[in-house]
């Protein structure tokens, strides 16, 4: 699924911007994990910076070491929260939340700081964060997640689930958090395999909540 999303990100956002700019882009990857997206951007000739709050060698920035051995795929790494970026304003063409925006503690603050470090005419992009049609479906997902955590982790579940993450997005939530920030959003629908696209129908037939979607959301910076 993430491969399809990345392909859509490149074809719908990165390549058109690179053609207009006629130069390599500066890409900021927020919630970069091991830096795989930055590595691919660097291999394509762009300048990439990976930001993550984790620096461990499991799924944090420390796990990027194998990528950095390739001189064509090198990128910078910064350990920081994407709600308090230690970066100057207007320094990037593309700022991408890479399967990470649902981990924000304050959605409006995260979007505001992403907008700050993007140049005018640049893009803030959301990849692989769960979008629901309504808050009701999103809250049902959160309830199911907490029940599953209690079943899997027992008394450790409360500690593991203690941080008040955003957890999910809706178009209405995104619009409210972006109000006055200077971002005009559009959605690029990602075409997934048929079995995945049929999930809403299957959920309806079984009386379950509507599933999330993982499309590419592109915010144009004014």
H/E/C letters for each residue in the chain?
Answer: CHHHHHHHHHHHHHHHHHHHHCCCCEEEEECCCCCHHHHHHHHCCCEEEEEECCCCCCCCHHHHHHHHCCHHHCCEEEECCCCCCCCCCCCEEEEEEECCHHHCCCHHHHHHHHHHHEEEEEEEEEECCCECCCHHHHHHHHHHHHHHHHHHHHHHHHHHCCCCCCCCECHHHHHHHHCCCCEEEEEECCCCCHHHHCHHHHHHHCCCCCCCECCEEEEEEC
pLDDT in tens, 88-126: 999 999 999 999 999 999 999 999 999 999 999 999 999
Does residue 160 carry a pLDDT above 90? no
pLDDT of the residue at 165:
95
pLDDT of the residue at 157:
86
pLDDT of the residue at 162:
86
In total, how many domains does the chain have?
Answer: 1
pLDDT in tens, 62-74: 999 989 988 889 9
Overall pTM surpassing 0.85 (yes/no): yes
Structural domain range at position 101: 2-221
pLDDT bucket at 164, cuts 50 / 70 / 90: very high
User: pLDDT exceeding 70 applies to what percent of the chain?
Assistant: 100
Domain harbouring 94, CATH code: 3.40.50.150
pLDDT of the residue at 70:
86
pLDDT of the residue at 158:
87
Which residue has better confidence, 41 or 153? Answer: 41
pLDDT in tens, 3-58: 999 999 999 999 999 999 999 999 999 999 999 999 999 999 999 999 999 999 99
């Amino acid at each position: 699924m993430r491969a399809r999303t990345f392909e859509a990100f490149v074809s719908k956002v990165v390549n058109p911007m690179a053609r207009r700019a006629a130069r390599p882009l500066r890409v900021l990857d927020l919630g970069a994990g091991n830096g795989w997206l930055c590595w691919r951007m660097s291999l394509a000739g762009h300048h990439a910076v990976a930001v993550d709050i984790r620096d461990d060698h499991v799924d944090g920035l420390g796990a990027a070491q194998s990528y950095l051995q390739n001189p064509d795929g090198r990128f910078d790494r910064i350990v920081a929260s994407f709600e308090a970026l230690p970066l100057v304003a207007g320094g990037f063409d593309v700022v991408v939340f890479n399967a990470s925006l649902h981990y924000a503690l304050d959605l409006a603050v995260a979007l505001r700081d992403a907008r700050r470090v993007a140049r005018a005419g640049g893009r803030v992009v959301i990849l692989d964060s769960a979008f629901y049609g309504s808050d009701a479906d999103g809250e049902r997902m959160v309830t199911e997640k907490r029940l599953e955590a209690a079943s899997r982790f027992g008394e450790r579940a409360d500690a593991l689930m203690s941080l008040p993450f955003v957890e999910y997005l809706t178009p209405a939530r995104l619009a409210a958090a972006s109000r006055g920030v200077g971002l005009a959003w559009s959605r690029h629908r990602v075409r997934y395999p048929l079995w995945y696209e049929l999930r809403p129908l299957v959920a309806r037939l079984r009386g379950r909540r509507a599933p999330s979607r993982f499309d590419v959301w592109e915010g144009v910076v004014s």
